[in-house]
């Protein structure tokens, strides 16, 4: 590749990342999931096109045809200049974030076949990514966050391995929450083992440090507690969500 071609690819990438709704997919697995679950992938750059297609052929042959039409090779040095940290798989991509109204429609549609996970004012990007990955794996309807954190931040997408595209992910204010019975996870609640979760539930989890707010507790239809050994202060946020979703799934047998 000559320098003119390389510069043209870099300029095209810079223009594409400024487009409304553009989100960064960092690494092969995020790209794989975006393609597999119907994401609108706009650009794919890789340091080694042959190696990327071989990896896809081994791990995800279903996405090979799409990659063959999208993947463009760019020298690794230029690729590293486009992202804060190049993923070990040597691939980056840009996709379109689903529209807010489309996500609201999915989250608000009743009856639901699976709960919506609500994260009230989360602070840790990695935690949110892990929660979205869990929600996608369990088949939750979606993940709603409140507060300032952008659930489509590149580090959240990295933590979810691109599984944002397998479930509805949106940031909403508390007054905008989807309909459905609100089950709030809180140490003061009833034992989770005695309380099945309905399919249309909103399962709410508080901040990593302070737990759920008084406002959210007041709105709850049920307060639910996960038993915990005395002296242990809390579970990790993603662990708590995983236990809640597993409890819901276990009740469906």
Q: How many CA atoms lie within 13 A of 119 on its CB side?
A: 34
Do 26 and 83 contact (CB within 8 A), yes or no? Answer: yes
For 156, other C-beta atoms within 10 Å of its C-beta total: 26
Query: CA-CA distance, 118 to 175, in Å (whole number)?
Result: 13
Q: What is the pTM of this model?
A: 0.92
For the chain, list the domains and their CATH numbers: 3-96 (3.30.1330.30), 100-250 (3.40.1280.10)
| Pair 224, 114: CB distance under 8 Å | no
Element (H, E) at 44: strand 40-46
Measured distance CA(169)–CA(141) in Å, rounded: 9
Question: Mind listing the pLDDT tens digit of every residue in the chain (253 residues)?
Answer: 656 678 899 999 999 999 999 999 999 999 999 999 999 999 999 999 999 999 999 999 999 999 999 999 999 999 999 988 889 999 999 999 999 899 999 998 889 999 999 999 999 999 999 999 999 999 999 999 999 999 999 999 999 999 999 999 999 998 889 999 999 999 889 999 999 999 999 999 998 677 899 999 999 999 999 998 888 878 889 999 999 999 999 987 6
């Amino acid at each position: 590749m000559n320098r003119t071609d390389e510069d043209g690819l870099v300029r095209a990438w810079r223009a594409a990342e400024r487009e409304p709704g553009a989100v960064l997919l960092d690494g092969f697995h995020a790209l794989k999931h975006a393609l597999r679950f119907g994401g609108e992938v706009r650009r794919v750059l890789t340091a080694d096109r042959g190696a990327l297609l071989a990896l896809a052929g081994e791990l995800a042959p279903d996405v090979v045809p799409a990659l063959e039409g999208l993947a463009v090779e760019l020298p690794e040095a230029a690729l590293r200049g486009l992202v804060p940290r190049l993923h070990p798989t040597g691939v980056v991509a840009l996709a379109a974030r689903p529209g807010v109204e489309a996500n609201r429609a999915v989250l608000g549609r009743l009856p639901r076949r699976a709960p919506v996970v609500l994260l009230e004012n989360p602070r840790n990007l990695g935690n949110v990514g892990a929660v979205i990955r869990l929600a996608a794996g369990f088949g939750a309807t979606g993940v709603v966050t409140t507060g300032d954190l952008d659930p489509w931040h590149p580090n959240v997408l990295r933590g979810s391995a691109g599984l944002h595209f397998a479930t509805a992910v949106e940031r909403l204010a508390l007054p905008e929450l989807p309909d459905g019975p609100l089950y709030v996870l809180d140490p003061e609640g009833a034992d989770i083992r005695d309380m099945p979760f309905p399919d249309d539930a909103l399962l709410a989890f508080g901040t990593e440090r302070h737990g759920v707010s008084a406002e959210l507790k007041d709105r709850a239809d049920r307060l639910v507690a996960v038993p915990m050994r005395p002296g242990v202060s809390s579970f990790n946020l993603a662990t708590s969500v995983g236990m809640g979703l597993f409890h819901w799934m276990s009740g469906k047998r």
